[in-house]
Amino acid sequence: MSFFVKETFRKKDFIIRENDEVKHLYFIVSGLVKLYVTDSDANEHIISFAMEDWWESDYKAFYTQTKASQVLQCIEKTEILKISYSHYHQILNEIPVMASFFLHKAVNGHISNQRRVVSLITLTAQHRYEHFLKYYPALLQRIPKTTLALYLGISRETLSRFFSEPQ
């Protein structure tokens, strides 16, 4: 625990804003966050959600120690444990099992991201919704419907139709 700092955020608070220096990785103790980018027309594109026991950050900015291109925002009141870049490397060097742990987490995250990309380019809206239900059933009641529609790349109206159809 000496490597981590605890912090609490309110609903809608930003943990990372675009162009922030990203100095930490975040472990979600409680709550729910979304990671997204905004395009030149100010449209939000949600990359991922993270809830209890998940890690999140703008990983590219963290690992390259550059400015954020992604935004991390709380959907619910959220408590995190954050680890700095220097402490992250220190823990990897001093506690070898942690290197294995972080590698395992990174590989699982990469697999999830690939699954999401494939679903976005190959599945219909209905199948993307069903895919979300299969892999993230615990999130369905926690994510506002408009936010879920953005994540799935569909309209709020289309998502509402899925909710009204028998499963």
What CATH number has the domain bearing residue 47? 2.60.120.10
Q: Is 75 contained in some domain? A: yes
User: Phi-psi region for residue 28, left (φ > 0), alpha (ψ -120 to 50) or beta?
Assistant: beta
* Domain range for 45: 4-91
Q: Is 31 contained in some domain? A: yes
Strand 55-56 relative to strand 24-30: parallel, antiparallel, unpaired? antiparallel
Q: Is 71 contained in some domain? A: yes
By the 8 A CB rule, do 44 and 89 touch? no
The count of domains in the chain is: 1
By the 8 A CB rule, do 164 and 140 touch? no
The pLDDT profile of the chain, 167 residues, written as one tens digit per residue, is 889 999 999 999 999 999 999 999 999 999 999 999 999 998 899 999 999 999 999 999 999 999 999 999 999 999 999 999 999 999 999 998 988 998 998 899 899 889 889 988 999 999 999 989 888 888 988 999 899 999 998 888 888 887 765 55
Q: Is 85 contained in some domain? A: yes
